[in-house]
């Protein structure tokens, strides 16, 4: 689905039609947005998919009100200036992408709505949606929670929250699974990204063992025969995905404790952590319950949240 020969320059202008299977990324000119843009553009190129840039202007307060008229504010001109600024953000983002990927099909979407509404409004037919984060800290968490977590919670497609990294070299994808079919979309997405990027994949299953957690013996040794059933379950969970992605270097890992803590530890070395989003039973809530927001807000690398649709 790359850019066809003879494509017109206006292919990179604003569009109201979102190509099915596109990689969608929210852009706002911030450093976090630029990191998300680079991640999304690379993935779109690797998977030969079109890239859609989305910029939200927000809802202008008091537009057309009597108060603005009395204050001498030309709200029509204000809207025009806001749209011009939005087009500038989109143009800059498109230029950034096309400078290194001139054959990539890039589409632009400008919406006069809240960022969450704009992103969710184009997510139905997307292959994935990428958003940036603003880093850590109380204010950052508020901003992250207002957009990234909200979008990852409600989007019908995988959402990649591109978190800031420390610049250290990272390699590989890590995905958490509870061994049920509800984790299958997350595992499949992890295989897909690892395959496209040519990196190894670790499929991690975390289970609760109070004694071992207290003693600090979290990793499961290969000779622990009482974990054979879980090893078989984990092997079964990846069987079909492995057949579809035979070139992916795969590691299956059993570990004890809380899944969010173990995935956060893995995020120090991984280039992407993948988690599933779906309702859980009581015991699973103890081990996995707050996994998605905790990992999204505190991981040291980008995080993909993949929904399960029963």
Question: Mean of the pLDDT values across residues 45-62?
Answer: 85
Question: Mean of the pLDDT values across residues 17-30?
Answer: 90
Verify that 211 and 92 share a domain, yes or no. Answer: no
The residue among 117, 133, 162 that closes a domain is 162
Q: Which residue has tokens 């250290």?
A: 168
Verify that 72 and 196 share a domain, yes or no. Answer: no
Predicted pLDDT at 127: 96
Cα 205 to Cα 233: distance, rounded to the nearest angstrom = 10
**In a 3-state reduction of DSSP, which class is residue 180?**
coil
The verdict on residue 3 lying in a domain is no
The verdict on residue 167 lying in a domain is no
- Asked whether the predicted pLDDT for residue 83 surpasses 60, the reply is yes
Verify that 139 and 14 share a domain, yes or no. Answer: yes
The residue among 162, 189, 215 that closes a domain is 162
Predicted pLDDT at 283: 47
Verify that 241 and 149 share a domain, yes or no. Answer: no
**In a 3-state reduction of DSSP, which class is residue 212?**
helix
Verify that 155 and 245 share a domain, yes or no. Answer: no
The verdict on residue 168 lying in a domain is no
Please tell me which residue, 214 or 80, carries the higher pLDDT value.
80
The verdict on residue 212 lying in a domain is yes
| CATH number of the domain to which 177 belongs | 3.40.50.620
H/E stretch holding 81 reads helix 75-100
Verify that 36 and 136 share a domain, yes or no. Answer: yes
The residue among 123, 140, 162 that closes a domain is 162
Question: Mean of the pLDDT values across residues 21-35?
Answer: 91
Q: Is the pTM of this model over 0.85?
A: no
Print the domain residue range for 96.
9-162
- Angstrom CA distances, 34 to 40, 130, 131, stand at 10, 11, 9
């Amino acid at each position: 689905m790359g850019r066809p020969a003879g494509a017109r320059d206006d292919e990179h202008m604003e569009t109201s039609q979102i190509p099915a299977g596109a990689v969608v990324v929210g852009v706002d000119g911030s450093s976090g947005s630029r990191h998300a843009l680079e991640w999304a553009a690379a993935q779109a190129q690797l998977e030969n998919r079109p890239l859609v840039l989305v910029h939200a202007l927000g809802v202008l307060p008091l537009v057309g009100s009597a108060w603005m008229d009395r204050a001498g504010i030309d709200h029509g001109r204000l809207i025009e200036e806001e749209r011009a600024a939005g087009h500038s953000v989109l143009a800059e983002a498109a230029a950034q992408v096309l400078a290194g990927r001139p054959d990539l099909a890039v589409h632009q979407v400008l919406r006069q709505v809240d960022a969450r509404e704009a992103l969710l409004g184009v997510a139905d037919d997307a292959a994935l949606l990428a958003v940036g984060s603003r880093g850590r800290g109380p204010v950052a968490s508020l901003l992250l929670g207002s957009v990234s977590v909200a979008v990852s919670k409600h989007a019908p497609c995988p959402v990649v929250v591109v978190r800031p990294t420390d610049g250290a070299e990272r390699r590989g994808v890590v995905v958490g699974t509870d061994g049920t079919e509800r984790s299958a979309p997350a595992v499949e997405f992890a295989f897909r990204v690892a395959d496209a990027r040519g990196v190894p994949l670790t499929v991690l299953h975390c289970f609760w063992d109070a004694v071992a957690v207290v003693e600090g013996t979290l990793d499961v040794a290969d000779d622990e025969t009482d974990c054979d059933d879980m090893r078989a379950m984990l092997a079964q969970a990846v069987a079909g995905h492995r057949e579809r992605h035979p070139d992916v270097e795969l590691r299956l890992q059993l570990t004890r404790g809380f899944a969010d803590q173990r995935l956060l530890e893995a995020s120090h070395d991984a280039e992407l952590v993948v988690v599933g989003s779906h309702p859980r039973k009581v015991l699973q809530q103890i081990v996995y319950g707050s996994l998605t927001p905790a990992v999204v807000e505190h991981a040291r690398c980008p995080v993909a949240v993949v929904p399960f649709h029963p």
